[in-house]
Amino acid sequence: MLGVGLFRKDVSDFIVPLVLDVTREVNGQQVLIEPYSTFANGSEAVSQGIELYAQHSFDFGLGAQVNFTYNDTSVADITLGGQSVGKSPLVGSADTQINASVFYENDRLLVRASYNRRGEVVEGLQSGLNVYTAPYEQVDINASYELMNGLVLSASVINLTKSEERQHLGDDTDAR
C-alpha cells in the first residue's frame, strides 16, 4: 500500500503557554511578579502539509510500515489582555515526523522494531522568546508469543536508545 495525504487547517485562535514578568496591583501597591506563568491567545494561523505512507507484508510474515509528515505552520501574533507579547507558530506542532517499523508475524509470534523521530516543536513563549523542544527520536521493540490458546506472553522495550527531550529558548541558538 502506498498513499499520500494533503492537509490544511485554518485555526482561528489557539492557546499559548506564556512566562513573563508582569506588574500587578496587590493591596493597593504595584508589585513585580517574576516569572509569571499564564496562558495567552494566538491569533489566526494555518497548519498545512503532506503525509506520505507505505506498508508492505510478505507472505512469510516479514513486513514494514513507514510514514512521513511535513507540517508547515504560520506564525501568529500572541496577545495577553489585548497587548502583543510576541509571535509563535502553532504550539505543539512538529515540522516533521517520521515513523518506521519492521515486523515479523506468524500464528504464534509477533516481533516489531519501531523508529520514531519528531522534528522541532514550539512549546510556548518565555520573556518574548519561543521555547523549543529539540528534535527527538527513539527506538522501541515489542514482542509477543502465544504460549497456548488464550495465554500470550508479551514484552516491550520502550525508548531502547534512552533518548531524552531537550528544550532551548529562542531560535537563534540551542545553547540557551
Q: Nearest CA to 35 among 128, 146, 170, 174?
A: 128
On the question of pLDDT at 173 being above 80, the answer is no
Model confidence band, residue 34 (pLDDT cutoffs 50, 70, 90): confident
pLDDT at 96: 96
Work out the mean pLDDT of the chain and round it to a whole number. 91
On the question of pLDDT at 79 being above 80, the answer is yes
Lateral strand order in the sheet of 167-169:
83-88, 76-80, 29-42, 14-26, 121-126, 129-133, 167-169
- The amino acid at residue 133 is T
Does the global pTM surpass 0.85?
Answer: no
Q: 152-163: per-residue pLDDT in tens?
A: 999 999 999 999
